[in-house]
Amino acid sequence: MTNLARKTAIAGALAALCLPTQSAGQLLHQPGDGPFNWDAYDSFAAANDFSGQTLTVLGASTGVDKTRLEHVFAYFAEATGAEVAYSGSDSFEQDIVIALQAGSLPDVGMFPQPGLAMDIAARGGLSPMADGTRDWYETNFAAGASWADLASFPGPDGDTRVYGTIFGTDVKSLVWYAPEVFEELGYAVPETMEELKALTDRIVADGLVPFCLGLGAGAATGWPATDWVEDFMLRTQPLEVYDQWVNHEIPFDDPRVVAAIAEFGHFARNDAYLDGGVSGATTIDFRDSPNGLFEFPPRCVMHKQASFIPNFFPAGVEMGVDVDFFYFPAYAEKDLGRPVLGSGGLATVMADKPIAHAFMEYLQTPFAHEIFMSQGQILTPHLGANPDAYANDTQRKLGEILTSATSFRFDGSDLMPGEIGTDAFWSAMVDYVSGAASAAEAAAAIEARWNEIR
């Protein structure tokens, strides 16, 4: 980058931090109204007064997602007398690094995933959370140790500390299905992976196709396959092996990883199991792939995809009637608990100021989670949050999957280096599903690429 280009980029990042924003936002509910923990809000308000101060926040959320956050921030402003100046950026990952280089970080950074936050912490750009935060996670979040681990990184001195608050979560360990088909043919929702495999074979025997699967996503083709593999890693191996795999502390072609890929292949490399067969799976766009659930007769009966997939369902689809979901089950014989794969945002203190640390305390209250939940789409593992605050029954059921999890792990490909998680992993899975490579060959290709970038 030339000096002129660097100065221009830095100027853009600084401008992003100073964009005019709706400081107060809008209070969605008046005090005392709705299924919210107003006692927690009142206690926080009584203990914090930052009148006349402004908290600067930079995050990746824009559009509707930005509006949802601003509604949450409005209550912090109301409670403390402070203003919250939030700037959302589509180029957050670049902007936050440039701001670090320029010495102009915001008070709070809201990272869409923990990987970049880990890098910023190592460079001294984050301030550790208060002592006792790990205990707070273990007390207040389902599978709390898992969440504390996600927010814990080595600082510039090499010591590992908790550096943030998880706020806003998605679930990926889901299977969507057509309830009418299940009811008419007498299918029961499978409780174990063994039962899911047996159900898959029964569906074929009944003359139907078990799964919709689409790996197409333009330049990102192949990414849906990585979620399957990550879920199988969590269901076939202990958590520490998953973490070692994500951090490349074991090679990508370790036999345990190859075995997880092969488990994915049990479903994805069988023409009889897939709408459009194997060739269709590698070309159908993931946004179109669930459509087969809603045709008559259905082209497929089940679809494994994350909690965001209803955004791509055809108009008029009624949740709980035309489609429902169940937890992607674990193996009964493995005894590895009830792991959940997903993603989540991480709020961090970047300026060591009382107002920034108070903002983290606010985001830890059940009230803040409830206001976020009430706007739809966002889930939480916070055990103190009232599930009645969810916008609808679908969100509430999704939230129950989080709160009943015995462990949680972040989408592994998002934590890997970009050349691996968002390139080599994707393309190797397409080769595997298409039959161009075996599980061992696909894993070896990814491992070779990882060694090239060391």
pLDDT in tens, 15-49: 334 333 334 458 999 999 999 999 999 999 999 99
Return the structure tokens found at 24.
Answer: 């107060």
85 vs 442: CA distance, rounded Å = 47
Q: List the chain residues with pLDDT less than 50.
A: 1-24
316 vs 325: CA distance, rounded Å = 17
CATH of domain 3-171+342-410: 3.40.190.10
With tokens 């010495």, the residue in question is: 103
The pLDDT of residue 288 is: 97
According to the CATH classification, is domain 174-327+416-452 in 3.30.420.10? no
| 375 contacts: CB under 8 Å, gap ≥ 6 | 28, 68, 71, 391
Identical fold, 3-171+342-410 and 174-327+416-452: yes
Based on the number of CB atoms within 10 Å of its own CB, is 387 exposed (0-12), middle (13-18) or buried (19 or more)?
middle
Strands 339-349 and 407-410, how do they pair?
Answer: parallel
Domain regions of the chain by residue span: 3-171+342-410, 174-327+416-452
Return the structure tokens found at 253.
Answer: 């072609």
The pLDDT of residue 115 is: 83
179 vs 188: CA distance, rounded Å = 10
Alpha carbon dihedral 188, 192, 193, 197, in 10-degree steps, equals: -30
98 vs 338: CA distance, rounded Å = 40
C-alpha separations of 281 from 213, 228, 295, 298 in Å: 5, 13, 18, 16
The pLDDT of residue 17 is: 41
The pLDDT of residue 25 is: 58
164 in Cβ contact with 192 (< 8 Å): no
